[in-house]
A and B are shown apart, each in its own frame.
Chain A
Amino acid sequence: DVKVTQSSRYLVKRTGEKVFLECVQDMDHENMFWYRQDPGLGLRLIYFSYDVKMKEKGDIPEGYSVSREKKERFSLILESASTNQTSMYLCASSPGGAGGPYEQYFGPGTRLTVT
């Protein structure tokens, strides 16, 4: 089975802190995604990576950056956390190459609270 793991289930940080959210997948997938999930808004794409060191902005990239140094790992960085970044963060991965679009496999999520 595909497994996508996220480093923390719950995280509490202070305003202005630098926050790292880590995601690891074990299926050698090319594509990895970071979403935030808010009630009534569904999932919104923050960033997308289609290969090591390659990234593409999603719909709401402001205030976030990402890093993908290894194929299996995709990190989301909040440079200076703010209270409006309190949310559930979901990581996902999917295969790449021709023949898509493919199913995305999701991690359990990290609920981040910024105080």
Chain B
Amino acid sequence: AQSVTQLDSQVPVFEEAPVELRCNYSSSVSVYLFWYVQYPNQGLQLLLKYLSGSTLVKGINGFEAEFNKSQTSFHLRKPSVHISDTAEYFCAVSDGWDDYKLSFGAGTTVTVRA
């Protein structure tokens, strides 16, 4: 089974500044990658996913992520954050085309300050 490491547990950031959340996974022949966001008191919702094709993936709310196979990473970025981006972010990995199970990282809490 895959293991997923999110390298930062807490990321404080000022409004309108850029943010990067780091995610590394254990190596596999094929891998499918996801970023989910959890706003306070809510369930998780999908931000973006990489299944194949272009290594730069764009998601909702201005987020994007880059798949780097050689570094087994899938870092999430946003060039300018808003107060409303305050949330917990989870990286998740599936290692089979028909494997519906996801392995999640421990999460990164982003706190955006004015």
Q: Select B100's contact among A43, A59, A94, beta carbons within 8 Å.
A: A94
Task: Please tell me the number of chain A residues within 8 Å of chain B, measured between CB atoms.
Answer: 28
Name B12-69 residues within 8 Å CB distance of A. 32, 34, 36, 41-46, 49, 51
Tell yes or no: B87 within 8 A of A by CB: no
Q: Which residues in A have their C-beta under 8 angstroms from that of B46? A: 103-104
The distance from the CB of A58 to the nearest CB of chain B, in whole angstroms, is: 7
Name A36-54 residues within 8 Å CB distance of B. 40-45, 48, 50
Q: Select B99's contact among A42, A101, A104, beta carbons within 8 Å.
A: A101
- The bracket for how many chain B residues form the interface is 20 to 34
Interchain CA distance A40-B88 in the complex, whole Å: 11
Q: Select B44's contact among A41, A50, A90, beta carbons within 8 Å.
A: A90
Q: Which residues in A have their C-beta under 8 angstroms from that of B100? A: 31, 48, 50, 94, 96, 100-102
- Nearest residue (CB) in A for B102 is A104
Q: Which residues of A contact B (CB under 8 A)?
A: 4, 31, 33, 35, 40-45, 48, 50, 58-59, 90, 92, 94, 96, 98, 100-104, 106-109
Q: Which residues of B contact A (CB under 8 A)?
A: 1, 4, 6, 9, 32, 34, 36, 41-46, 49, 51, 90, 92, 94, 96-102, 104-107
Q: What would be 20 A-B contacts, judged by CB atoms less than 8 Å apart?
A: A35-B104, A40-B9, A40-B107, A42-B6, A42-B104, A42-B105, A42-B106, A45-B102, A48-B100, A48-B101, A92-B43, A94-B100, A100-B99, A101-B32, A101-B97, A101-B98, A101-B100, A106-B43, A107-B43, A109-B42
